[in-house]
Chains A and B, each alone.
Chain A
């Protein structure tokens, strides 16, 4: 690891403007984590136009802050109202709300905040050490490897993510097709432009993301009546006692490690991490029946894990240029807008971005710890704000924001179109995540495949015979076949197999894709 670059990154992160953007980011992240409705991906999408007006590093620091800040905020509603602000806080509800009912809401929030801080910080340290290593390994990648890797990334998010795999793949394929709109960079031919001058440069990623995630989610939220605002449980004694800290320290440590590793996996992310960490604690416990009745470990473990996972999901983005979930896909797009191509060369070409962003997370997490322990009362009060009041404000931010990118009314219409598509997709059970991810990676996939074909002289077996791209492709086939195999096995073992109400393989609605 280049220690000088690492230290320079700190110098970047503590520049006053960057500190300010970091603070804005984590504040906004906390707020949207607390408030029902918009998830982090939608919020990052809505705020993308800011990247056109701000220094690249500052913009990414802020957008990243929104993502990991949201993990802290989601805890508050889980504990106080039994409403997980983010899907990754759903398991926190079990014991967090039970603690709140016993009058220990403060303790639960305090432990959650400390666990979050420890989890995230461990993950950042892990990232600091691991990321340059991964990046240096990936430097030898050529077009065939990139093609295989990008396809694998799309596939993993589509399959591991949520809901129906066929639907996710259809969405991803449509994303790949949408990416071809505009002038073909190889032949100069116009594709799918319908003779429109505005479309000849292709569809802007920012406009698509703002539409599908931002407007789509805003419209969808209008339909779900969020109900009345409930009075949150009173919060007192946020500082946990020494005994409580001791009791939960093991859970925090294990949760952090579980979260770090699951977060690196594409499509895994914070939701899976919180579930696995909770299950691990319950399994280890001498008296598992405490869980669900207010066990402090049941709050500490998932909260440490989801923050660690949220942090480590930056690794694939910053080191090999493959976003692990929808929020990362939007950050990928934001980096491209700023003229920075995420990938193995990033650490050498733009150390200011690479280390500036990573090191800003150390600072951002300290800010979040301050926000969520001494200032937790402020956020509890935010819970009284009615969603109906925020809806038009977010709507206006999207419309005015997208206009400012190019002073183009056409962009507003494109965004509204994608917003309606996003809404209809949600209604029909399609997640927009895979589409946006594939759209971002589409140009990379196409140009890598075409360049590879030129290298191979038109022989597609070259993808398989090169060792690295061959391995990635083999893995890709495995990812496709594994669910099918599992289904076959399940069918065979069901009669006479482990009893219990044949647990429905419920498609977990993972919101990590948002």
Chain B
């Protein structure tokens, strides 16, 4: 979240030239201001390529859905087959995605990938490692390691607080799950 100085409740007081109809404009102003406020916190917008790729993914999902549901059999309206409803939704997805491809190129609601997008990537990787290790060596060591990576490398904490928080968290989860809730998580100790 950014900490920009107050942008403007004091400023707009009334947009010049709105003396005619103050009612709808007040709400519109507020909405624009709130949108602006939330806008300030967002990373740089992604360009048209983001929109095109997103739309193409939609088309791909839709077309795959259409092809597969045809395989399940459409049946008829009086006796709908297993594929009829998925077929209808897939056609909808395809159509809407094509529409997005046509009219959505100028949208600015995508967030550009930046260097800091590597952080979520690393985060997702730790999730996967944890999922692989959990059934093999129990949850304690993977949990501790996940905390370590997230606190020190993703969160920029000092080593001291990293180790303390990671230890406390792991122990707390151990007590909570195995004793507090008596849920049999795979555990080593």
A interface residues with partner B (beta carbon < 8 Å): 36, 53, 82-84, 87, 90-91, 93-95, 97-98, 163-164, 166-167, 169-170, 173-174, 176-177, 180, 184, 186-187, 189, 191-192, 215, 218-220, 222-227, 230, 275-276, 278-279, 282-283, 288-289, 291-293, 386-389, 391-393, 395-396, 399-400, 403-404, 407, 409, 412-413, 416, 419-420, 423, 426-430, 446, 449-450, 453-454, 457-460, 498-501, 503-504, 506-509
B interface residues with partner A (beta carbon < 8 Å): 1-3, 6, 9-10, 13-18, 20-23, 25-32, 34-39, 41, 43, 46, 50-51, 53-54, 58, 61, 65, 68-69, 72-73, 76-86, 89-90, 92-93, 96-97, 99-100, 103-104, 107, 109-111, 113-114, 116-117, 119-120, 123-124, 126-128, 130-131, 134-135, 139, 143, 146-147, 150-151, 154-157, 161, 165-166, 169, 173, 177, 181, 183-185
Inter-subunit contact B25/A500 (CB<8 Å) = yes
A292-B10 contact given A163-B109, A167-B104, A180-B85, CB 8 Å threshold:
yes
Q: With the chains together, A369 CA to B146 CA distance in Å?
A: 37
Tell me if B's interface is mostly helix, strand, loop or mixed: helix
Q: How far is the CB of B25 from chain A (nearest CB, A)?
A: 7
Inter-subunit contact B76/A458 (CB<8 Å) = yes
**Which of B72, B135, B157 is within 8 Å of A409, CB to CB?**
B135
Contacts of B154 in A (CB 8 A): 222, 388, 391
Contacts of B134 in A (CB 8 A): 399, 403, 409, 412
What number of A-B contacts does a CB cutoff of 8 Å give?
A: 266
Q: How far is the CB of B173 from chain A (nearest CB, A)?
A: 6
A170-B123 contact given A192-B68, A289-B13, A399-B131, CB 8 Å threshold:
no
The 6 closest A-B pairs by CB, nearest first: A458-B78, A388-B155, A292-B9, A429-B109, A392-B150, A94-B9
Contacts of B39 in A (CB 8 A): 506, 509
Inter-subunit contact A509/B26 (CB<8 Å) = no
**Which of A166, A225, A428 is within 8 Å of B99, CB to CB?**
A166
Q: With the chains together, A409 CA to B78 CA distance in Å?
A: 42
Contacts of A177 in B (CB 8 A): 61, 65, 86, 89-90, 93
Q: With the chains together, A468 CA to B166 CA distance in Å?
A: 57
Inter-subunit contact B100/A166 (CB<8 Å) = yes
Contacts of B128 in A (CB 8 A): 413, 416
Inter-subunit contact A416/B86 (CB<8 Å) = no
Question: Which of B28, B72, B147, B150 neighbours the largest number of chain A CB atoms within 10 Å of its CB?
Answer: B150
Question: Which of B15, B17, B124, B151 neighbours the largest number of chain A CB atoms within 10 Å of its CB?
Answer: B124
Contacts of A282 in B (CB 8 A): 26
Inter-subunit contact A460/B38 (CB<8 Å) = no
Q: With the chains together, A509 CA to B42 CA distance in Å?
A: 11
Inter-subunit contact A506/B36 (CB<8 Å) = yes
Inter-subunit contact A420/B93 (CB<8 Å) = no
Inter-subunit contact A393/B169 (CB<8 Å) = yes
Q: With the chains together, A169 CA to B96 CA distance in Å?
A: 8
Contacts of A191 in B (CB 8 A): 68-69, 72, 82-83, 86
Please give me the residue from chain B that is nearest to A438 by CB atom: B89
Q: With the chains together, A409 CA to B128 CA distance in Å?
A: 10
Contacts of A499 in B (CB 8 A): 16-18
